[in-house]
Structure 1
């Protein structure tokens, strides 16, 4: 094999060469390097539009890479310590679905925590695989779902020895990590694949003193959102593989749903971001960690807020914590996280990642500056002073254990009836309801609708959470499975 150099960026270099050739385009896209859409060119820039091009021999083809994309994949695999890396332009959603659909077929069981992203349950609807849900730990104090206990996974494996895979969120949105190495060893001992939703863990591969990464733990596949903490463009991701599943087969699975018109803007951003992380990642994430630690310390000085960290570690459902995550519990000032989220944006011009019932999350990355964090801290201090109230009306937990009655696929494709959400108690849900972000379903197809869930949905609505998932755009009606 030829010598790999992490200072190379093959896709980016091929695009630069293409630009220098001054090619006259009689192919798609129809804007013809920006000439056909001056407003768009003015908005995004001539340089950007000139490389928004179609696949061709000098630029390779993502559906079947043989040259520059293949070389870029090899460099990414080397950087992440994987056997192979697939460039994904349909987001980490398609990487998660690619993992599940590569190892599970209709009727196959997959062990997974219920607080998965909707993309994982969507993969079950498409493939017909059957989930064996493990309820994650729940923090009574913070009201959030935690990681998976090794003991719970062991029990699920014993009860379902025919399961094909174990699926793990690592880290969770809040930065909480499970004991990935122990889970991987346990699953492998029973002949099961380990698939990791590592959407929020790009930096685990490059920073010092980070929680263990999926590839280092020996997992079989991982879906990594390069655009979240790795610096690439939105919607660009990697699917890392480290197993015996045929690479050509995985690519066929990916090609079932991924576009045949891959954006070279997204592909080149992955290539350039990987190069930057491989060369400078340690330094980048050292800075990110220190910025997050600084903000955490300052927020905890305010009082009333709790920016949590490694002190939560219990070596079980909280095996480790990602200190780059600035997760802040807000209920002690009498405000739901979503309320703090809205006030920060509307009154202070600060957009954070998300707010839920009890917490807010600020993503800290290489693009942040100390001055901006000082502004966040002072705004939170002022919000406490102006809006703090008693906390009697706050809902005390974010995660509700579901009762699964049918497989997601059977429920989603069943004969359905639309009814008012308020009247749906005890029915079987045939679609999703979730707060977005983070996109973890409150209800998924095949689950029993309970009064506790309905109370939670009403509370989330009252507090201003963005609810999504139902056919009804107003989230007033819900599709239920027609009972015979």
Structure 2
């Protein structure tokens, strides 16, 4: 099926609107593009245009007829309204030649200007321009070249050693591996010797072109592909920006890769406090008040590191953070692993790290959008970006034999965000709204929303914290079944794999692969649990967690503790010693102890309170913990 270029034509003159539509449709035949169809949607006012954009996510261009010089302000506001909904949508303007300069000076968001007399003399010019832009936006430089090369079936005399799957096909022992994945998987597992596809470490040829397109789509100065996850992306950024002893203000709730990255960089972290709701076990973003106080007290800090969207979908008003940090000459790095679609819908854009002006942003392109696992983006907007040093750090962390399938998935993931990201998100938001409306009849199961978070966290409203409704947080505290029984029911009997449990919640992610039928199946399972139509053992549920994780007080630089001599001691005998490793209860994955931190009785009490949940405590070894050896 040929792709469709759907153009929204905006003109308050109904007669001219009809003739423009007819003109475009007739000219399309002369472009000789059998691989592309054209559809025209019309609007005679700004309100009609925005209505069309919200209801029709397939629109790929807007053509605005700019009437007169007197209408400049009005027509400029139409462009702003379009871009507020679809920032990636190109807007073209047609008007009389003599006001062309006035128009393009009024708005930097115009893709191209066409004079009325120019179109009359060359009827194909405007449409050909729009079509070429459509082709450029939907291009996949790496995927296209990669697919072409793979199917050519060249005789391989280089790595990888399986030679397009030959070593699997000819084996009596492992040919089932080949049969399971299929021929294309193996012929596309290529060597880095393919010069035409480019080098990941150098960003050349097709890979370089694909990365440049990502930067254009995300409206940043530079974008880079990372094939071993945002954990590595985070470490690359931290080691690029920080030197030994540099102060970095960091959200304690950051992913453990951030904590490890600071250890590698030998930086001095200044931790913002965790804010925990004990009933639900949910962590909020740090308060803006504490963040600003930390900045004021540490004007020599080099960097601020925050999580843009928490695991549970809570969103920081990052524009306030960036503006205050930049006033003090501090760079801002946002781990936005769970929020890669933030730019592509107006409901989320105000909380987007890129839109807020952050200097560095990482996106896990596999978590909620459509790349393969381990595929990640690094985005850079820092005007002081040291590209050469970044590339050195990038080379330290990047394999010289990257998996080409991961790179290709990053290329096509960008295309989907550019061409249909808004449409997909709009559909997902409708799905989750329908689920909430249907779930209102439940008596024991609830879907939590912004009103609930306002009750949990005193700074929710004052700090303008938001919530991503695609992270569906379900309150199961009123059910009389254990977590283990609920999990078993959802997995074994209903076939639902849940993202995360706490003692009183389920977290369900509605990703780009979310479909209405999946929502219906989820509702069916929740309906059974709520009605008690399940054969599960009842048990007393833990009512709350400890009120807070004890704050972090560092006795030494984390890197000194981590890389120094260490020994294992029993946890019960560790009070007063200095931790030499991360201790992290999972879920939710918030460090309880970091290297260089004095262990207190409160930490042991916290772990004891978690014991009934049967969580994994990462960094705890059969009841023992690593501490600095031979402390005075």
TM-score where L is the length of structure 2: 0.72
Secondary structure of the structure 2 residue equivalent to 1:145: strand
The corresponding residue for 1:234 is 373
Q: Which moved more, 1:246-255 or 1:332-341?
A: 332-341
For residues 401 and 343 of structure 1, the distance between their equivalents in structure 2, rounded to whole angstroms, comes to 37
Quick one: structure 1 residues 146 and 393, their matched pair in 2 at CA, closer, same or farther if it must change by over 3 Å? closer
1:350 aligned residue (496, 500, 520): 496
Measure how far apart 1:19 and its partner are: 2.0
Q: Residue 269 in 1 paired to residue 416 in 2?
A: no
The corresponding residue for 2:222 is 84
The corresponding residue for 2:422 is 282
Measure how far apart 1:258 and its partner are: 1.8
Q: Residue 41 in 1 paired to residue 178 in 2?
A: yes
For residues 283 and 209 of structure 2, the distance between their equivalents in structure 1, rounded to whole angstroms, comes to 40
2:603 aligned residue (439, 448, 453): 453
CA deviation string 1:101-129 (max 9, x = no partner): 11111110100111110000000111101
Q: Residue 120 in 1 paired to residue 120 in 2?
A: no
For residues 17 and 342 of structure 1, the distance between their equivalents in structure 2, rounded to whole angstroms, comes to 45
Cα RMSD of the aligned pairs, angstroms, is 2.4
Measure how far apart 1:292 and its partner are: 2.5
Quick one: structure 1 residues 402 and 299, their matched pair in 2 at CA, closer, same or farther if it must change by over 3 Å? farther
The corresponding residue for 1:478 is 625
Quick one: structure 1 residues 200 and 376, their matched pair in 2 at CA, closer, same or farther if it must change by over 3 Å? same
The corresponding residue for 1:75 is 213
Secondary structure of the structure 2 residue equivalent to 1:378: helix
2:363 aligned residue (210, 224, 228): 224
Matches within 5 A, 1:377-392: 377-384=523-530, 385=532, 386=536, 390-391=540-541
Quick one: structure 1 residues 383 and 98, their matched pair in 2 at CA, closer, same or farther if it must change by over 3 Å? same
For residues 538 and 555 of structure 2, the distance between their equivalents in structure 1, rounded to whole angstroms, comes to 42
Matches within 5 A, 1:392-403: 394-397=544-547, 399-403=549-553
Contact 1:226 1:232 in 2 (8 A): yes
Contact 1:330 1:337 in 2 (8 A): no
Contact 1:287 1:366 in 2 (8 A): no
2:339 aligned residue (176, 182, 201): 201
Secondary structure of the structure 2 residue equivalent to 1:19: helix
Quick one: structure 1 residues 437 and 150, their matched pair in 2 at CA, closer, same or farther if it must change by over 3 Å? same
The corresponding residue for 2:92 is none
Secondary structure of the structure 2 residue equivalent to 1:87: strand
2:155 aligned residue (24, 27, 36): 24
CA deviation string 1:116-148 (max 9, x = no partner): 100000001111011000114333553322112
The corresponding residue for 2:138 is 7
Secondary structure of the structure 1 residue equivalent to 2:271: strand
The corresponding residue for 1:368 is 514
Quick one: structure 1 residues 112 and 301, their matched pair in 2 at CA, closer, same or farther if it must change by over 3 Å? farther
Secondary structure of the structure 1 residue equivalent to 2:259: helix
Quick one: structure 1 residues 184 and 334, their matched pair in 2 at CA, closer, same or farther if it must change by over 3 Å? farther
Q: What count of residue pairs does the alignment treat as equivalent?
A: 480
Structure of higher CA gyration radius: 2
Quick one: structure 1 residues 333 and 13, their matched pair in 2 at CA, closer, same or farther if it must change by over 3 Å? same
List gaps (5 residues or longer) in structure 1.
Answer: none
For residues 299 and 413 of structure 1, the distance between their equivalents in structure 2, rounded to whole angstroms, comes to 51
For residues 112 and 324 of structure 1, the distance between their equivalents in structure 2, rounded to whole angstroms, comes to 26
Q: Residue 407 in 1 paired to residue 553 in 2?
A: no
For residues 371 and 258 of structure 2, the distance between their equivalents in structure 1, rounded to whole angstroms, comes to 23
The corresponding residue for 2:352 is 213
For residues 66 and 248 of structure 1, the distance between their equivalents in structure 2, rounded to whole angstroms, comes to 15
Measure how far apart 1:276 and its partner are: 1.1
Contact 1:110 1:132 in 2 (8 A): yes
Q: Which moved more, 1:288-297 or 1:28-37?
A: 288-297
Matches within 5 A, 1:86-101: 86-101=224-239
Secondary structure of the structure 1 residue equivalent to 2:441: helix
Contact 1:147 1:317 in 2 (8 A): no
For residues 186 and 258 of structure 1, the distance between their equivalents in structure 2, rounded to whole angstroms, comes to 34
Quick one: structure 1 residues 372 and 397, their matched pair in 2 at CA, closer, same or farther if it must change by over 3 Å? farther
For residues 396 and 377 of structure 1, the distance between their equivalents in structure 2, rounded to whole angstroms, comes to 31
Contact 1:407 1:446 in 2 (8 A): yes
Contact 2:503 2:541 in 1 (8 A): no
The corresponding residue for 1:144 is 282
For residues 456 and 347 of structure 1, the distance between their equivalents in structure 2, rounded to whole angstroms, comes to 34
Quick one: structure 1 residues 347 and 22, their matched pair in 2 at CA, closer, same or farther if it must change by over 3 Å? closer
Secondary structure of the structure 2 residue equivalent to 1:138: strand
Q: Which moved more, 1:108-117 or 1:409-418?
A: 409-418
Quick one: structure 1 residues 68 and 137, their matched pair in 2 at CA, closer, same or farther if it must change by over 3 Å? same
The corresponding residue for 1:421 is 571
List gaps (5 residues or longer) in structure 2.
Answer: 1-131, 169-174, 455-459
Q: Which moved more, 1:446-455 or 1:44-53?
A: 446-455
